A and B are shown apart, each in its own frame.
Chain A
Amino acid sequence: MNQAGFPILSLLTFLPLGGVFYIVTLRGTEAEIARNARFAALWSSLIGLALGIYLWVIFNPAIPGYQMVETLPWLSGIGVEYRMGVDGISLFLILLTVFLTPIAIISSWSITTRVREFMVAFLLLDTMTIGMFAAADLLVFYIFFEAVLIPMYLIIGVWGGERRVIAAVKFFLFTLAGSLFMLLAIVWIWRSTGTTDIATLLHTRIPPAAQTWLFLAFLASFGVKAAVWPLHTWLPDAYGEAPLPGTIMLAAVLSKMGAYGFLRFAVPMLPQASAVAAPLMFTLGVVAVVYVSYVALAQTDMKRMIAYSSVAHMGVIIIGIFTFTVEGIEGALFQMLSHGVVIAGLFICTGVLLARGESLSFSRLGGLAAKMPVYAALLMLFSLGNLGMPGTSGFVGEILVIIGAIQVNFWVALLGAAGMVLAAAYMLLLVRKVLFDKQAGPARASLRDLTVAEYAMLVPLAIMVLWLGIYPISFTRNFAAPVQAMVAAHVAALAPTTAPATALAMVTTK
């Protein structure tokens, strides 16, 4: 079963844990520990990246189901196994995680207090995130899903900004409240089917009456994680207060957990309920796109504007998933990757300014294009990615979602696409306020352009933005098979009870 010949997924997952043990045992002066902890974390993340790339190389895109499956007996009394596996959907989320981790670790050079503890928390976060995406068992998934909360809570609460404690508590309570419903749902599924194996559950029919409740439970949990409107209000606080590496992981990776959950569980396991809920999800998605974009437009702080724009883009992903079309779902998946890369780039751009003692308030920024031309070019590129300029990653996901949506409903497509106009408005406003307009406050004589470490963070992201935008097929070819299988299964599951989703389309051929 396993092409790698060794348990690559478990290795990927628990490798950071090895880093944790090493860091814990470090001895020496404060400064030595800090330095060694940083490098240990960086090296372990780089090995993870190398393993991730190897995983991509040996991955077989033709198989729609799980590959590299690893099973170990665990809780055999209740029929639960430790089971890991990867398919085209989770592959790139794992790759996104291992790609962004070294970047986030480099960005954590700015953290100078309790460095050892920070690195421990961060590597734990890494383990939990990868484990969550690699889990092929519902209970294993749930444990990782929940465990992500703990290091993230600490990262926000200990190393965050001024209002860090409120933000951390809000983040914790929101996500925990949501997840408890999911636990109930998982227990119910286990009770009625006797298994928590995801691959088995995908072929298990769940009675439609129960599906509604299960869907609502999943919605509560994944909806909070994906910051679906109106469950998003924890997000601006958390993004705003978290330290830069925390923000990167939150915005780029953890926000995908919710969307991944919808795609992995809600849609394939609960087809009837998903179909019934689709109009609701479209509404929530469209509201996120339009309403949250307006909220973003009103922001006066660079970081918060990016945070709100992130919520708006999650709306596009939700719309794409619930079109139940190949184009829409692949668009949503692609948008997840693109959003992860772009939003990480944008947040690092805010970190660059903070590192130079700049405020992030628009009223005190401006005129940086002349002083920091390379920074300006990169911020412009990420902004263009965020507003969906063709040739950058943002466009591919967006146009695919539009194409998926129009097969279901014209207005969903139109309003979802209206994000293009609104995103252009707020991103160009941001660019203008930061790079172009004369600085309102007292101007500094000179500002250093990017440092080597900042190049090391931003250039790989910039390359990814362009690669995803110009040659997306390197990525889409890997998720084509599972998505097609999922859509086919969805249509088949709906066929006896209701008309297929395509009947909703408004075009008629005579």
Chain B
Amino acid sequence: MLSLLAVLAPLAGAAISGLGRPFLGKSLAIAASIAFMLVSAAAGIGALVLFIHAGPSSPSGFATTTLPIATWISVGQFTPGWSLRLDMLSMVMVAMVSFVSMLIHLYSAGYMAHDKSVPRFFAYLSLFTFAMLMLVTAANLLQLFFGWEGVGLVSYLLIGYWYERPAANAAAIKAFIVNRVGDLGFAIGIAMVYLVFHSVDFSIIFAAIPAHLADRYSLFGTSFPALEVIAFLLFIGAMGKSAQLFLHTWLADAMEGPTPVSALIHAATMVAAGVFLVARMSPLINAAPVAMDAITIIGASTALFADTIGCVQNDIKRIIAYSTCSQLGYMFLAAGLGAYPVAMFHLINHAFFKALLFLAAGSVIHAMSDEQDIRLMGGLARKLPVTWVVMLIGALALAGIPPFAGYYSKDAILATAFNTGTAIGFYGWACGTLTAGLTAFYIARLFLLTFHGASRAPKHVQDHVHESPAVMLAPLIILAIGAASSGILLRADFIGAPSTAFWGASIATPASAMAAMQHHAPGLAASAPLLASLGGLLLAFIFYVLAPAAPMRLAQALAPLYRFLLNKWYFDELYDALFVKPSLRLAKFAWHFADEQVIDGIPSSLAALTADASSQTVRLQTGSIALYAFIMLAGLLGFLSLFLWVR
């Protein structure tokens, strides 16, 4: 019941702050939203604590219970209900989401204080939290899809929150449509699940998997294992939501939204939903080895790809956004290898340190009068001491430096990849290690350019620099504590020896992945990621402290490469030329030519022909009685002879 409270409280908060605005006034509406969020966080964490305190229900681990609320759809055998699936996976997610969301609600009270329509902002944030909690607690695929689309919708609304800005509008629509492309795969995947299993309930699907291992599905004239097809389709959905390679283009643009939104939606929670989906569907994914390989390859490639872009960007939020993309790649890399617990471990750690980084960046932007270009910052360390400390913790956690959170999970992911001993695993390890170096480099670059050196900001901006108010700093400090400690605290339960019992039946980890996960990688392979990270930090230190002219010279020497990366591998331009422009041209063509001229043209010309014929016929009416009489006579004769002849 506590979990239900945790899920529904944000909905109540959203309704009150959204609909009650005219009656409540601004501050009361905000207060209601925050109060319900506090209830939700308390209930979410309380539920997890009680759940763990109650202990495993059986030797195989913690129990799974389903809490039905109401029927939703019931058509034929298609009967997805509104119900919550409560197991370790969902309880951990509920606790994390409600907790982080509560902190971000608090932070927003300070960050958005000067905005005109804050209650709307809070209503959206709470609604988002509700949708995200519905997503993670769903007991069937369709309810998960409800939450999935719900978070996508609120993400759209919040990216476009400042709707007077054309860039924000464009980014919002882009985010929604790119996500919908992924969701198309997801929806078809759900339909396929129903086709194969005659149900979309997780418990029924998972129980029936052994019976359907040999099912085949024919597509493109060949037959594929049905479960592979499903896994691929669901993964396409996950790729869209988690901004993986080819469907990643929306995430950086999504930074047009207010910074707390970037922290909550585009870093800690929503974008991780793809990883959650893969973990949730782990019993099915395990039965699709080809799809798993694809997940690892896409994940590893995204990690490296996004980092190459992150290295050269100048917008503080976009750099962090690309790092999000890349960290999600790590999670998929692990999930594709079957090491779902490691992916979840990184997901939770990432939620802390990435929310922290974004909120700290927000604190910087707040102080810098909304400036986001790190080339125009510098020297903020002394003026923003708290922000400096928490940003340092977040940066080190992201860079994977012990004892901060990111180190443990990243290290575990790469060790698992190496230990699997397969070519795919090695590819993941190699990409991941390179990525670790690049990540350390650009986060250090961001940190050094922002906080150290001489200030490059205009005078009037410099004068206004001030540390953020306590309501913003408190969440930062709490998140910093999380980012510093979650790795150490959660390590044993999440991926250590007790992890089998801890996750119980909520995640199905293959035995081989379990073994790879719990062993250390040998020698150099184990230390390589950390060495790469340290190397990246060192390089950033050389570039931005010791020899500040070096990066410029390097960019000039490798100008084509630099431009290629700066323009994000030209993906936007490519998609624009491949999809957007042809679609719009096709749309105009379909309307003006095909619809108006061809399809409507046929009946219209028929009508014209009729009118024409009648005006021609009119000319026969000359008015001469003699002529009429003659024609009548001729006709009569003609018919008479015809009848006589035919007889």
Contacts and interface: CB of A to CB of B under 8 A. Distances in A.
Contacts of A325: 76
Contacts of A413: 188, 191
A166 B191 CA distance: 44
A297 B590 CA distance: 10
A472 B215 contact: no
Contacts of B195: 403, 406-407, 505, 507
B215 A510 contact: yes
B592 to A, nearest CB: 8
Contacts of B569: none
Given A390-B145, A406-B195, A471-B70, A436 B215 contact: no
A86 to B, nearest CB: 21
B-side interface mostly: helix
Contact of B176 (A428, A437, A470): A428
B274 interface: no
Contacts of A121: none
B214 A510 contact: yes
A326 B216 CA distance: 24
Interface in B114-152: 142, 145-146, 149-150
B12 interface: no
Contact of B75 (A295, A400, A505): A400
A473 B76 CA distance: 12
Contact of A507 (B78, B215, B599): B215
Given A369-B163, A417-B184, A429-B173, A506 B74 contact: no
Contacts of A203: none
Given A233-B603, A421-B180, A424-B180, A403 B583 contact: no
Contacts, number: 164
Given A403-B194, A476-B73, A506 B219 contact: yes
Interface in A455-472: 470-472
Interface string A139-175: 0000000000000000000000000000000100110
Contacts of A407: 195
A389 interface: yes
A505 B191 CA distance: 13
A435 B177 CA distance: 18
A35 interface: no
Contacts of B588: 298
Interface in A472-488: 472-473, 476-477, 480, 484
B188 A400 contact: no
A202 interface: no
Nearest to B143: A390
Contacts of B187: 399, 402, 417, 420
B192 A298 contact: no
Count class of interface residues, chain B: 35 or more
A230 B599 contact: yes
B425 interface: no
A384 interface: yes
A291 interface: yes
B158 to A, nearest CB: 13
B191 A403 contact: yes
B173 A428 contact: yes
A436 to B, nearest CB: 4
B591 A506 contact: no
A428 B196 CA distance: 34
Given A294-B583, A294-B590, A476-B74, A233 B226 contact: no
Contacts of B73: 396, 399-400, 472-473, 476
B555 interface: no
A437 B191 contact: no
A414 interface: yes
Interface string A415-445: 0011011001100110010011110000000
Interface residues of A, number: 64
A421 B173 contact: no
B525 to A, nearest CB: 42
Contacts of A510: 214-216
Contact of A506 (B142, B166, B217, B594): B217
Contacts of B583: 294, 297, 425
A256 B226 CA distance: 37
A437 B169 contact: yes
A508 interface: yes
Contacts of A506: 217-219
A219 to B, nearest CB: 16
A170 B74 CA distance: 42
Interface in B249-270: none
Interface string A270-285: 0000000000000000
A193 B594 CA distance: 43
Interface string A297-314: 111000000000000000
B176 A424 contact: yes
A330 interface: yes
Nearest to A403: B191
Contact of B184 (A330, A410, A420): A420
Interface in B597-629: 599-600, 603, 607
A253 B305 CA distance: 52
B183 interface: yes
Interface string B179-190: 011011001101
B177 A428 contact: yes
Interface string B398-437: 0000000000000000000000000000000000000000
A399 B194 CA distance: 11
A437 B172 CA distance: 12
A391 interface: yes
Contacts of A390: 142, 145-146, 149-150
Nearest to A230: B599
A438 B599 CA distance: 36
A424 B587 contact: no
Contact of B191 (A406, A432, A477): A406
B58 interface: no
Contacts of B214: 509-510
Contact of A384 (B74, B153, B191, B586): B153
A405 B163 CA distance: 38
Nearest to B586: A294
A507 B217 contact: yes
A233 B270 CA distance: 42
A473 B71 CA distance: 7
A417 B191 CA distance: 11
A305 to B, nearest CB: 11
B463 interface: no
B544 interface: no
Contacts of A432: 160, 169, 173
A418 B603 CA distance: 30
B156 interface: yes
Interface string B324-340: 00000000000000000
Interface in A379-409: 384, 389-391, 395-396, 399-400, 402-403, 405-407
A400 to B, nearest CB: 6
Contacts of B603: 170, 173-174, 233
Given A173-B603, A367-B164, 16 more contacts: A294-B587, A294-B590, A298-B590, A298-B592, A327-B76, A331-B75, A399-B187, A406-B195, A407-B195, A410-B188, A420-B183, A435-B163, A438-B166, A473-B71, A476-B75, A506-B218
Q: Which 10 A-B pairs have the closest CB atoms?
A: A298-B587, A326-B76, A436-B163, A233-B600, A390-B146, A297-B587, A406-B191, A298-B591, A294-B587, A295-B591
Interface of A: 170, 173-174, 229-230, 232-233, 291, 294-299, 325-327, 330-331, 367, 369, 384, 389-391, 395-396, 399-400, 402-403, 405-407, 410, 413-414, 417-418, 420-421, 424-425, 428-429, 432, 435-438, 470-473, 476-477, 480, 484, 505-510
22 contacts: A291-B590, A295-B590, A295-B591, A298-B584, A367-B164, A389-B149, A390-B145, A390-B146, A390-B149, A399-B73, A399-B191, A400-B73, A402-B187, A420-B180, A424-B176, A429-B173, A435-B163, A473-B73, A476-B75, A505-B195, A506-B218, A507-B217
